[in-house]
Structure 1
Amino acid sequence: MKPTIRIEYCPKCGWMLRAAYMAQELLTTFTDDVYGITLQPSEISGRYTIYVDNELVFDRKREGRFPEIKELKQLVRNKVNPEKFLGHSDSK
Structure 2
Amino acid sequence: MRTPRVEIEYCTQCRWLLRAAWVQQELLTTFGTRLGEVALVPGTGGVFRVVVTAEPSAEPVLVWDRAADGSFPELPQLKARIRDVVAPDLALGHTDRAARRGDPDDPAPERAR
TM-score, length-scaled by structure 2: 0.77
The equivalent of 1:46 in structure 2 is 46
Unaligned runs of 5+ in 2: 54-59, 101-113
Moved over 2 A (4+): none
Q: What is the percentage of aligned positions where both structures have the same residue?
A: 43
Query: Counterparts of 2:95 and 2:28 in 1: how far apart (Å)?
Result: 15
Unaligned runs of 5+ in 1: none
The equivalent of 1:88 in structure 2 is 94
Query: Counterparts of 1:26 and 1:37 in 2: how far apart (Å)?
Result: 8
User: Shift in Å at residue 36 of structure 1?
Assistant: 1.0
Matches within 5 A, 1:1-92: 2-42=3-43, 44-53=44-53, 54-91=60-97, 92=100
Q: Give the number of equivalent residue pairs.
A: 91
TM-score, length-scaled by structure 1: 0.93
CA RMSD of aligned residues (A): 1.1
